[in-house]
Amino acid sequence: MSSLIQCSQFADLPNGMRLHFASAGAPGRPMVLFVHGFPEAWFAWEAQLEAFGANFYAVAVDLRGFNLSAKPADLDAYRPKKIVEDLAMLIAHLGYRETRIVAHDWGGALTWNLAIFAPQCVRKLVIVNAPHPYLFARELSENPAQQQASAYMNWLRKPGSEQLLAEHEFGRLDAMFRAGAGADHWYGAALRARYHAMWSIPGEHGSHGLTGGVNYYRASPLHPATEQEPRAPGARMLAQDWVTRVPVRVIWGMRDTALLPSLLDGLDSLCPDLRISRIADGSHWVIHEQPAHVNALIAAALDESG
């Protein structure tokens, strides 16, 4: 880890949540907030902190339920509205009225919501392989290919999925990373050990270390239909309620097998200020596979006027 990165920093928020974060660069500079997905942590953005700490106050947070942040045992604590509230409060706690955001996977899902419903907090949104909520609901309702690609969500929602993920020294989670391109290059022994240690940190009140992360899926209103819920949740969402009025830049690994490229169809109708960069040979884990390329695209987005 670079000596430029400051770890072991904590924010005690007004809602009672304690979040861990790491940073690079001086507070007071324009801020860029990096937000990870499942099953990751702040250090998924280490290469970005090193790259952007020179010109920004670059911050990478552990979302609630992950790594060193608080891990409530209650499922209700993982409702998207509450986690979006964490992010808004973190921005204010760090002394900012607004920030630029770079987010992936669940981090992207949450920051889409932040940009839509609290646009005053977001100067610019850079999304890496994370679907817009309205388009995700549409595809879960109408597209059999995305329904099949998202079937794992219903598996994760089942009781006991965290114990199954932990079996065989987290073998299923290791396989999730290795399913991308070039994992032998980026998911080596040192990073694997780091993730295994993080996944082993227990939650509150004796809950499993992976329960917090899995609870994002259990608490989400968006998932494929089931026998108990034959109509995909979110099918009644109205497009006009989900327009994203902040500038949006999307980076998309086109070989993502969980979030299909069809999720980009129609995005321009929901984002008046939009640019999309497609990486033909990138998977869901493109930030790890091609950090220099991704950093160049992030830099171009952040360097734009405004």
- The answer to whether the pTM exceeds 0.85 is yes
Predicted local distance difference test score (pLDDT) of residue 225 = 80
**Structural tokens at position 68:** 């060193």
The answer to whether the CB of 7 falls within 8 A of the CB of 13 is: no
Predicted local distance difference test score (pLDDT) of residue 226 = 78
Predicted local distance difference test score (pLDDT) of residue 4 = 87
Angstrom distance (rounded) from CA 112 to CA 116:
6
Predicted local distance difference test score (pLDDT) of residue 231 = 65
pLDDT digits (tens, 9 = 90+) for 182-214: 778 899 999 999 999 999 999 998 899 999 999
Q: Which residue numbers in the chain have pLDDT < 50?
A: none
Every domain of the chain and the residues it spans: 6-303
What phi and psi, each to the nearest 5 degrees, are found at residue 10? -130, 145
The answer to whether the CB of 108 falls within 8 A of the CB of 130 is: yes
Predicted local distance difference test score (pLDDT) of residue 33 = 98
- For residue 122, the Cα-to-chain-centroid distance in whole angstroms is 16
- For residue 302, the Cα-to-chain-centroid distance in whole angstroms is 19
Note the CATH architecture for domain 6-303: 3-Layer(aba) Sandwich (3.40)
Predicted local distance difference test score (pLDDT) of residue 3 = 65
3 state DSSP class of 158? coil
